[in-house]
Structure 1
Amino acid sequence: MKNTPGPIAYNYTIPLKYHLLFWIVYYLFNTIRWGGYFDDYLYSAKSNLVSFFVSILFCYWHIYFLIPKYIVRKKIIPYISWMVLSSVFFYFLKTGMIYLFIDKTIWPEAPEGQTAPGFNHFITVVLGELYVVAFVSAIKLTIDWISVKNQRDELQKLQLQTEIKYLRAQIQPHFFFNTLNSLYALTLTKSDNAPRVVVKLSEIMQYVLYDVQEPDIHLTREIRYINSYVNLEELRRGNVELSLSIIGDIEDIKTPPLLFLPFIENCFKHGGSVDEEMHIDITFKSLPGDNSLHFLIKNTINPEDDSIKPKGGIGIQNVKRRLFLLYQNNFILQTGIKRQCFIAYLKIPVSA
């Protein structure tokens, strides 16, 4: 049987000291208020002590039993029935305690006093208790709502971090697999470039395994990594022409690590055979006051490769998903093909 999520549990525990503080303030406020109103502070202190006790029982009965059992489960009719019964019970409890311990006149505030329960007295007492119950319940529900919201925010943040790590992990094995294949081909031909590939690969592995564990990294380090990656492909192909332009001051700019790698990978994946010359133009631009990083890459492609049409290659979908997780809709990504060149433009907000 498939498990379905149940109602949210209102189980946040409020420290005891806050319970005590609230009820002490509530008791003192009512004692001073009614004592001053009737000019009898002693009676007010005694009668409010009874009300204080009954209010505590009614409030906790409501917030810890009736709300979780009926309101949260949307059982409105049973909730109303229980509230009516509870109101009657606590009315007689309060009235009886006042009659036994305080004064035979259970409602001295009435014009002629009152020594027996009555409808008007019932309405007055119950409305007063419901006022306190509603006030305390509002506080408790607000605290529960904040607690649940914080838990959901933490869970959403954790899920976001997990998915971003997963998308990053998809990039790294793919890159290392391609590089090792290239190294294998060079060793078969006993190429003099094989040792240089090993050195470059070790530099990149150090970057990927140790330097990109933070959520953001300096753009200059990312560019050095891109250069190392392109150098590896140059060693393998021997006919790569790279033009890298930096416009503006990027020294203090930080970006998510490995964000631009899929675009670089696509250059070599769809750039034709190893016998064809490849041109890659990369531009990073950051203008003063813009608070954005502009990334533009253009590379020649194999016109017979249909896998990059119309969305720009497999890795681009990975990039789009990661960009959405990082920036929601606060980014621009445009890709297209023009004159046998694949062009990608990316604009993201940056932090220093």
Structure 2
Amino acid sequence: MHRGFSSLRQRFNAHHLIVFLPLIAIILLEAHIRFLSLKLHFISDYLLINAQLFLQCTPFLVAHVCASRFTLKRAVIVFSFGFIVYPILFLILKEQFANTAQWHFLDLQSWALCLSVSLVWLISKRGNKSKKILNSKWLKSIVSLDGMLFMMMFGWSLIFSGVLNTHVNPMLNQPFNIIIDITKIFSEFDNFVNYLWQITLYTALMYSVYLLNRYILIRKILTHCGVLAFLSASLIGLVILTPTLTSWVLLLPINDLPVGISNLTPGGNNNIFSPDNYLFMFFYLAVSTPIILAFERQQQHAQINEIAQQQTTTELKLLQQQINPHFLFNTLNNLYALTLTKSDDAPELVMQLANLLRYSVYEGQKSQVSLTNEVDYLKDFIALQRIRSGERCQFETQWPEQAQQYAIAPLLLIMILENAIKHGVEPTSDKVTVVFKLTITENTLTLFSANPINHAQTSSHQGVGLTNLRRRLALLYPNKHTLTINENNDLWQTTLAMELPRC
């Protein structure tokens, strides 16, 4: 059990480290952009830029990880303070430090990148946890690899168009700094749109190569024809697509430049057969292929997990259906015997049975119920057994305090109580005592049950009931329970300890 809790803590820590990854990647990217655009060369300058940006983006990191853990309402509040209120206050206060030239302050570009990647991450993660959200087709398309890459490429088009719009005749005045003047986007909007449609068309061509690689080369050829056919088809695509796409890019007005001026083709010239063009296409395919394969594997893994979860749910339902008939038939037999003798206990038995069946039908179909409701069910069951057994059976019980704070899978503990009565009470006419105690320490529920041993049935004591119990515990509470069964001084003792979530 301790080993199981230890592994849970390790997974918890790893999960929180992974949550930070998207923002860390964006902050590092922004630091690189600033370092290169300022044409710095010393590692001390690079480390200084990174340290200052990470310090200023700390509220982003905190808001991001908190929003990934909190409920939706609290997540929206924390996200708003971290990504909206804080940047506004920071931009206002930074004016007081305008003379501090060595500082690289948080700007609009950094905020937009961090906000976008955090929002996309949170939507995708919350979508994975909510079936209703996942049923939305538009959200599925956004959080897919195709949607993410499309947004990244379009975002790059917006940024690069803003950079080009910031400078006067940027293609004729190369190299130019990677900076964006937001005000010029609005003051020279027509010029910005002119750059935007050309850069967007450029990225659309690259996006089409990605789609060809994923849905034709990988899904069709690699999956069905093997590696050799995939490599051959990739080589053919490389040879044909490179000069074709380069010639299309050269048709863009932005590349209508004097001889000797670098254009937007990988080779930087009008030669559609430039080796640099082929090299760029090769690396584009070489980098995108393993990424696509990784996402395809993740998608297949998610589908396998969903199928496994459906199988587990079906198995739990079947196990639960195996429990109720045994109890029902025994009780009906007792009710039949009481009606034959016209016992005054018959109406009370019918009422107790109705309460138990009502709980089994309505609450028993849920995945979790309040521990209080489950305890009440056990009390009703024992009350019914007292009617059935009369003075022949005594129950020594103990019930947990603050049970309303915890949740449990329904109709789980009853299996141990049924087993104790079936093998300790029903086979004998002697007076017997059944011990059934429930206690809670922190969030661990401990059940202790003891009943006399009927030696004639000892070999069959662990029948269908306990076999089902072990299987349900393994499915519902993996690494979160221990079940011990042993004989002690002519008593059959069962001890179950399990970690319960709070309501």
Class of the TM-score when normalised by the shorter of the 2 chains: 0.7 to 0.9
**Which residue of 2 is the match for residue 345 of structure 1?**
495
Name whichever of 49-58 and 214-223 sits farther off.
49-58
Q: For 1:303 and 1:115, locate their aligned partners in 2 and report how far apart those are by CA, in whole Å.
A: 95
> Match for 2:420: what amino acid?
C
**Matched length:** 331
CA distance in 1, matches of 2:395, 2:227: 70
Q: Which has the higher strand share?
A: 1
In 2 relative to 1, CA 234–114 (structure 1 residues): closer, same or farther, beyond 3 Å? closer
Whether the 8 Å CA contact 1:54–1:90 is kept in 2: the answer is no
d(CA) in 2 for partners of 1:166, 1:55: 52
Residue from 217, 240, 247 that aligns with 2:393: 240
Give, in angstroms, the shift of residue 97 of structure 1: 4.6
Q: 1:235 to 1:247 in 2, by over 3 A?
A: closer
Bigger Cα displacement from structure 2, 239-248 vs 294-303: 239-248
Cα distance in structure 1, aligned partners of 2:260 and 2:239:
17
Query: 1:214-225 residue pairs with structure 2 within 5 A?
Result: 214-225=366-377
Q: Return closer, same or farther for 1:204/1:107 CA change in 2, 3 Å cut-off.
A: farther
Distance 1:91 1:78 in 2: 20
User: Which residue in 1 is equivalent to 2:226?
Assistant: 75
1-side partners of 2:353 and 2:200: how far apart?
Answer: 78
Counting aligned pairs with the same residue, the percent is: 25
Residue 92 of structure 1 aligns with an amino acid whose one-letter code is P
Contact map agreement 1:55 1:129 (CA 8 A) in 2: no
Q: Which runs of 5+ in 1 are unaligned?
A: 1-11
Give the TM-score, by structure 2 length: 0.57
Aligned match for 1:300, one of 452, 463, 467: 452
**After the TM superposition, which residues 1-352 of structure 1 pair with which residues of structure 2 at under 5 Å, given as runs?**
21-27=151-157, 35=171, 37=174, 52=203, 54-73=205-224, 75-97=226-248, 121-122=274-275, 124-134=276-286, 144-145=296-297, 147-238=299-390, 239-246=392-399, 248-271=401-424, 273-287=427-441, 290-308=442-460, 312-352=462-502
CA shift at 1:193, angstroms?
A: 2.3
The offset of 1:155, in angstroms, is 3.4
Between the aligned partners of 2:201 and 2:368, the Cα distance in structure 1 is 61
Deviation, 1:286, is 1.0
CA distance in 2, matches of 1:88, 1:264: 74
Q: What corresponds to 1:3 in structure 2?
A: none
**1:342 Cα deviation after fit:** 0.8
- 3-state DSSP class of the match of 2:448? strand
Q: Which has the larger share of helix? A: 2
Unpaired runs of 5+ residues, structure 2, are: 1-139, 165-169, 177-190
How far apart, in 1, do the equivalents of 2:481 and 2:344 lie? 44
CA deviations 1:23-44 (Å, max 9, x no partner) are: 44445666758936457xx9xx
**Change beyond 3 A, Cα 1:248–1:85:** same
Instruction: Evaluate the alpha carbon distance shift between residue 55 and residue 331 of structure 1 in structure 2; reply closer, same or farther with a 3 A threshold.
Output: same
Bigger Cα Rg: 1
RMSD: 3.7
For 1:190 and 1:100, how far apart are their aligned partners in 2? 99
Q: Which deviations, in whole Å up to 9, do the C-alpha atoms of 1:77-99 show, x marking residues without a partner?
A: 11111111111112231454567
The amino acid of 2:409's aligned partner reads P
State the alpha-carbon separation in 2 of the partners of residues 202 and 114 from structure 1: 86
User: Residues 282-303 of structure 1: CA distance to partner in whole angstroms, max 9, x if unpaired?
Assistant: 111112xx31000000011212
> SS of the counterpart of 1:293?
strand
Task: Report the secondary structure of 2:476's partner residue.
Answer: helix
Given that residues 400 and 438 in structure 2 are in contact (C-alpha distance below 8 angstroms), is that contact kept between their aligned partners in structure 1? yes
Distance 1:106 1:25, change over 3 A: farther
Q: Using CA pairs under 8 Å that are at least 6 residues apart, name the structure with larger relative contact order, 1 or 2.
A: 1
Q: Give the secondary-structure state (helix, strand or coil) at the position aligned to 1:285.
A: strand
